[in-house]
Chain A
Amino acid sequence: MAVFKLEDFSFTYAGETNPALHDISFSVTEGEFLLLCGLSGCGKTTLLRQLKPAIAPRGRRTGEILFNGQPLRLAPPRSQAAEIGYVMQSPEEQAVTDKVWHELAFGLENLGLESRAIRLRTAEMASFFGIQDWFERDVSSLSGGQKQLLNLAAVMAMQPKVLLLDEPTSQLDPIAAADFLAAVKKINVELGVAVMMVEQRLQEVFPLADRVAVMDRGAILIDAAPRNAGLKLMQTHHPMARALPSAMQIAGALGGDSPLPLTVREGRRWLRGFLRDGAPAREKPEQESKEEGEPAVLMKDCWFAYEKNGTDIIRDLSLRIPKQKLFCILGGNGTGKTTALRLMAGLQKPYRGKIRVSGKVAVLPQNPQTLFLKSTLAADLADMLGFAENRDAKVKEIAELTELTALLGRHPYDLSGGEQQRAALAKVLLTQPDLLLMDEPTKGLDAHFKIRFSEILRTLMRRGVSIVMVSHDIEFCAENADLCALFFNGNVAAQGRACPFFAGNSFYTTAANRISREWFAQAVTNGDVVEQCEKIQG
């Protein structure tokens, strides 16, 4: 039986004439894992919210949404609240109360359950998720990934029949995201709860999904099994194809009759089949060459700890960052990446060692919202310049560079995540830095925005700006970085030009490299693998 069934559903926001969603017909069946994807602004969140009336935006609706065979609008509020679980993007803002136990109990309190029943259900959920040790902790003491898991558990405590997830991992690092997705899959498989998930990380979610729906400009473009959906996206050259799992993209570009692979494991098998004849022996990665010239940043034997006699966060770090290059710092949490960035920015001073930075430094903070002050973007940008001459011209110029010209009249908080990121970048660039430091700039950006973002970075480098970014986004770094460094335990474990750097790592590398490393030593991006294969094929 279908949990949700939409029949010719259309929706227009209050005060607007063009429908945000039109003629949508599809269904979610019991126990199904449905992935909903599409470019930013295609209406996927709008659609997801329609399925949860308590938070559906105001506007005009036509068509019908059936929930368990009954019109959703007639379902009693209590069952809407309990049976439809909804988890949002931000781990921070979703948590309402100060204690973990209270957060778990919050929904059940709203349903008016007895204390005894609440105790049982929270205990059950905490044990299911393995978070019983946190039960009496403060929510603020949890990490981002733990908070999001708590948000999921708090929704699950209400025992929903269907779980709606709106980009739940976009604010998490890869390891926390994997944990979260594993928990969702566990819920889906072990509890039989239907899942409908909006997500950017197609690489990880595609293999989990039973079915994939792709949205485009308010309509459902594709609704098929993951392999078929991927195939259709690539055949139509849809921009979303750039976000598909690497294995799929490589196989799709090379063609062939065998079904598309989804995971690295399947990709490897597929590539073995493809290269059956003429598989070349693995060549050695090329040695890196020494960088010459005046560096943008020079760190020598730096040591740093936040507290006197505290643990050293940075240990004996020496780093040379060349000018006009994109230098990416990768590594797990707590390895000192962000701290190194703060040292370069001069926000902290090492207790031993030297740092030399040439030129003016500016930092793009991880959360762009820490910068917005005024009520329009134009005023906000102008505020950076004080009473400088030709202020408006400068604002215009920077808005053009960051592709924000059309949005200058908007309130910064009315922009989407990707637009906010660029607005923050514009603000930072108005200080005319020679060295731009960025902390996780691609967090939460979709594939399309990432491409635009990397174009902006290239333009900046051409204009003489050197860029250092801290990132968890291996794929982005492999595509765009000139140089990479892997941080571990407050020091650099490996560094070099992007291509040999990733080729030299075994685990900490791109999916394309993991698929193809047996055959190609230098293939790091999907494009590299396809190119190498085509070379062999002649």
Chain B
Amino acid sequence: MRKNSGLRPGFSVLSVVLLLLAPAAAILYGVYGLDNRKYLLVSLVILACAILSFFLLFEQRKPPARDLVTLAVLCSIAVAGRAAFFMLPQFKPVAAVVILTGVCLGGQAGFLVGAVSALVSNFFFGQGPNTPFQMFAFGLVGLLAGLFFRHARRKPKKLFLCVYGTLSVFILYGGVVNGGTLLISGLPLTPVSYLTVCASGIPFDLTHAAATAFFLFVLSGPMMEKMERMKRKYGLMQRDDDSE
């Protein structure tokens, strides 16, 4: 899918337009800027463009029914999977599901599942100013998982997955979402205030990272096996394998 649709003229034009919008907005705002709020606007515009371009890419693919259902299933597991851990609060399988999606079905699918899971999860728990940052952060976690592990000939080692899971959740997800909180809160944009925000989120981020590593350690084997079976039996997401 990366190869095929990335080259379609319709998409490239749109994505270029979108990606040009961001710097344009930045310049515009630089002129009329107000204190440090301009960084928030610029980052929101960039986030929106990034998320939108992935959605457009997805739209361009005209996904067949089985791919669409599988993506919907993965997003729903990421969201509803929390219910399996009703006895353990703070245990959220979202990141693990997103990473495994990236590994098994590619970075684009990883980004999509990450972003949509964050969005839908917030439909149930309430949208907030952090929604775009969460969407982007989970998307990024899935995208990079795809880029790192997708081209490996063999199945990625469990250890690497766990390390990636811990780091990506703690640094990528935590970093982006904490950055978002900082930008929204209106605190001065200094390393000190960034660290203050991060420190306030550390217990949460650590649990999240540890839970993700644990999920990946236990689930990566069976989950990949299940997805492989789906690919083998029902020819899921096959086109991009053929082109590679």
Residues of chain A whose beta carbon lies under 8 Å from any beta carbon of chain B: 375, 411
> Within the complex, what minimum Cβ distance (angstroms) separates A377 from chain B?
14
The 8 A CB mask of B214-244 against A (1 = contact, 0 = none) is 0000000000011001000000000000000
In the bound complex, how far is the Cα of B225 from the Cα of A375, in angstroms? 8
> Within the complex, what minimum Cβ distance (angstroms) separates A459 from chain B?
34
Q: List 4 A-B contacts (CB under 8 A).
A: A375-B225, A375-B226, A375-B229, A411-B229
In the bound complex, how far is the Cα of B225 from the Cα of A310, in angstroms? 44
The 8 A CB mask of B71-105 against A (1 = contact, 0 = none) is 00000000000000000000000000000000000
A58 nearest CB neighbor, chain B only: B235
B195-226 residues with Cβ-Cβ distance < 8 A to A are 225-226
Using Cβ atoms and an 8 Å threshold, which residues of chain B touch A411? 229
> Within the complex, what minimum Cβ distance (angstroms) separates A169 from chain B?
25
A414 nearest CB neighbor, chain B only: B233
Residues of chain B whose beta carbon lies under 8 Å from any beta carbon of chain A: 225-226, 229
> Within the complex, what minimum Cβ distance (angstroms) separates B72 from chain A?
9
Using Cβ atoms and an 8 Å threshold, which residues of chain A touch B225? 375
> Within the complex, what minimum Cβ distance (angstroms) separates B161 from chain A?
20
In the bound complex, how far is the Cα of B230 from the Cα of A411, in angstroms? 12
In the bound complex, how far is the Cα of B226 from the Cα of A411, in angstroms? 11
Using Cβ atoms and an 8 Å threshold, which residues of chain A touch B226? 375
> Within the complex, what minimum Cβ distance (angstroms) separates B230 from chain A?
10
Using Cβ atoms and an 8 Å threshold, which residues of chain A touch B229? 375, 411
Main secondary structure on A side of the interface with B? loop
Using Cβ atoms and an 8 Å threshold, which residues of chain B touch A375? 225-226, 229
> Within the complex, what minimum Cβ distance (angstroms) separates A67 from chain B?
22
In the bound complex, how far is the Cα of B225 from the Cα of A411, in angstroms? 12
In the bound complex, how far is the Cα of B229 from the Cα of A411, in angstroms? 10
In the bound complex, how far is the Cα of B229 from the Cα of A375, in angstroms? 9
In the bound complex, how far is the Cα of B226 from the Cα of A321, in angstroms? 42
In the bound complex, how far is the Cα of B226 from the Cα of A468, in angstroms? 35
A373 nearest CB neighbor, chain B only: B222
> Within the complex, what minimum Cβ distance (angstroms) separates B231 from chain A?
14
Minimum-distance CB pairs A-B, first 4: A375-B225, A375-B229, A411-B229, A375-B226
In the bound complex, how far is the Cα of B222 from the Cα of A411, in angstroms? 13
In the bound complex, how far is the Cα of B226 from the Cα of A78, in angstroms? 34
> Within the complex, what minimum Cβ distance (angstroms) separates A410 from chain B?
12
In the bound complex, how far is the Cα of B226 from the Cα of A375, in angstroms? 8
> Within the complex, what minimum Cβ distance (angstroms) separates A138 from chain B?
13
A93 nearest CB neighbor, chain B only: B69
In the bound complex, how far is the Cα of B230 from the Cα of A375, in angstroms? 12
> Within the complex, what minimum Cβ distance (angstroms) separates A509 from chain B?
41
In the bound complex, how far is the Cα of B229 from the Cα of A359, in angstroms? 40
B228 nearest CB neighbor, chain A only: A375
A55 nearest CB neighbor, chain B only: B65
> Within the complex, what minimum Cβ distance (angstroms) separates A241 from chain B?
36
A375 nearest CB neighbor, chain B only: B225
> Within the complex, what minimum Cβ distance (angstroms) separates A57 from chain B?
11
In the bound complex, how far is the Cα of B227 from the Cα of A375, in angstroms? 12
B72 nearest CB neighbor, chain A only: A96
In the bound complex, how far is the Cα of B232 from the Cα of A375, in angstroms? 14
In the bound complex, how far is the Cα of B225 from the Cα of A442, in angstroms? 31
> Within the complex, what minimum Cβ distance (angstroms) separates A177 from chain B?
27
> Within the complex, what minimum Cβ distance (angstroms) separates A291 from chain B?
40
> Within the complex, what minimum Cβ distance (angstroms) separates A142 from chain B?
18
B69 nearest CB neighbor, chain A only: A96
In the bound complex, how far is the Cα of B224 from the Cα of A375, in angstroms? 12
> Within the complex, what minimum Cβ distance (angstroms) separates B121 from chain A?
15
In the bound complex, how far is the Cα of B226 from the Cα of A517, in angstroms? 54
In the bound complex, how far is the Cα of B221 from the Cα of A375, in angstroms? 12
In the bound complex, how far is the Cα of B66 from the Cα of A87, in angstroms? 18
> Within the complex, what minimum Cβ distance (angstroms) separates A16 from chain B?
15
> Within the complex, what minimum Cβ distance (angstroms) separates A492 from chain B?
34
A54 nearest CB neighbor, chain B only: B65
In the bound complex, how far is the Cα of B226 from the Cα of A57, in angstroms? 21
> Within the complex, what minimum Cβ distance (angstroms) separates B218 from chain A?
13
> Within the complex, what minimum Cβ distance (angstroms) separates B222 from chain A?
8
> Within the complex, what minimum Cβ distance (angstroms) separates A7 from chain B?
30
In the bound complex, how far is the Cα of B229 from the Cα of A57, in angstroms? 17
> Within the complex, what minimum Cβ distance (angstroms) separates A320 from chain B?
35
In the bound complex, how far is the Cα of B225 from the Cα of A401, in angstroms? 30
> Within the complex, what minimum Cβ distance (angstroms) separates B238 from chain A?
13
> Within the complex, what minimum Cβ distance (angstroms) separates B63 from chain A?
14
In the bound complex, how far is the Cα of B226 from the Cα of A362, in angstroms? 28
> Within the complex, what minimum Cβ distance (angstroms) separates A53 from chain B?
14
> Within the complex, what minimum Cβ distance (angstroms) separates B139 from chain A?
23
> Within the complex, what minimum Cβ distance (angstroms) separates B241 from chain A?
18
> Within the complex, what minimum Cβ distance (angstroms) separates B81 from chain A?
15
In the bound complex, how far is the Cα of B222 from the Cα of A375, in angstroms? 9
> Within the complex, what minimum Cβ distance (angstroms) separates B76 from chain A?
11
In the bound complex, how far is the Cα of B161 from the Cα of A449, in angstroms? 45
> Within the complex, what minimum Cβ distance (angstroms) separates A104 from chain B?
18
> Within the complex, what minimum Cβ distance (angstroms) separates B235 from chain A?
9
In the bound complex, how far is the Cα of B226 from the Cα of A441, in angstroms? 27
In the bound complex, how far is the Cα of B226 from the Cα of A523, in angstroms? 51
